[in-house]
Amino acid sequence: MSARRIDGKAAALDLRQRVAGEVAKLRSASGRAPGLAVVLVGEDPASAVYVRAKGKATIEAGMESFEHQLPADTPEADLLDLVDRLNADPAVDGILVQLPLPPQIDANKVITRIDPDKDVDGFNPVNAGRLAIGLHGFVPCTPLGCLKMLRAELGDLSGRSAVVIGRSNIVGKPLALLLLSDNCTVTIAHSRTRDLPAVVRRADIVVAAVGRAEMVKGDWIKPGACVIDVGINRVGPVEPGAKGRLVGDVDFASASEVAGAITPVPGGVGPMTIACLIRNTFVSAARREDFRYGKDL
């Protein structure tokens, strides 16, 4: 058996085009474009790549992108001041502070300072709380992208057993809550889980968000299960200048022989994460302008 390959790039393009259509309508109704402010502190190369990709996608959707690049030694107080200014700026609908932050800055303090109604990353504790009790807020982009791909692949998720491997605040926990609200029976696995292969083998839906290259093997997967691989791991040569290659947390070759459907890495969850950020920024502007948009966004 060979699993269907879930095309995250195509799904992301479709979502971004639909958002762009709604953005055009919002612009003509309100006379302004939604705006996303992205703050990068320091020069982490991976973060710089993500920030560039986010800015490009924002502009392509017809929205304004405001990029703020600060030096690595920026004091925490200066970053908090910038967040306060962005909170007060009417042209800014979404604020994203790229993580990780340098050691002198407490990321939790910064995340908590972002206005929850502009927190398009969904990391502010107010939005985490809203998600936990089923209120409208902002859902973190990676879990939202995973949910959208699962719904597109499987339709109604009701009654399915789901195992989420990983319990981080930005992926594992929010995704488990989203699956629960779609009526899955959810198990959250982590580094202390006993006999992880047996736990995974029971699942109709497997989401791996661990950060360990190709950890989940094909013989852990129930035949026909749907596998979403969130992991991004660089493997290969370690010599200076050598780039290596990106792999997920799932051993794609062996898992594809057993699963019903699977996301590749790259080209799976990654593109959907950016598309969901664009979506959340539009939604923030739409809420502020009291603008109605299609429910399936």
The single residue among 19, 36, 57, 170 that binds ligand NDP, judged by CB under 6 A, is 170
**What's the rounded Cα separation, in Å, for the pair 92 and 35?**
5
Q: Which amino acid is at 160?
A: R
- Indicate if 73 belongs to the active site: no
**What's the rounded Cα separation, in Å, for the pair 173 and 177?**
6
Residues 4-43 vs ligand NDP: string with x where CB under 6 A? ----------------------------------------
Q: Does 140 bind ligand NDP (CB under 6 A)?
A: no
**What's the rounded Cα separation, in Å, for the pair 221 and 197?**
8
Nearest distance from C-beta of residue 170 to ligand NDP, angstroms: 5
| CA-CA-CA-CA torsion sign (121, 125, 126, 127) | positive
Q: Does 201 bind ligand NDP (CB under 6 A)?
A: no
List the beta bridge partners of residue 37: 66, 95
The single residue among 231, 264, 278, 282 that binds ligand NDP, judged by CB under 6 A, is 231
Nearest distance from C-beta of residue 289 to ligand NDP, angstroms: 28
Q: Which amino acid is at 258?
A: V
- The residues in 178-197 that bind ligand NDP, with binding defined as CB under 6 A, are 189-193, 196
- Indicate if 98 belongs to the active site: yes
- Indicate if 69 belongs to the active site: no
| CA-CA-CA-CA torsion sign (95, 96, 102, 103) | positive
Nearest distance from C-beta of residue 166 to ligand NDP, angstroms: 4
Contact 263, 148 (CB under 8 A): no
Closest CA to 16 of 192, 262, 276, 285: 276
The single residue among 166, 228, 264, 278 that binds ligand NDP, judged by CB under 6 A, is 166
Q: Which residues bind ligand NDP (CB under 6 A)?
A: 142, 165-168, 170-172, 189-193, 196, 209-212, 230-233, 269-270, 273
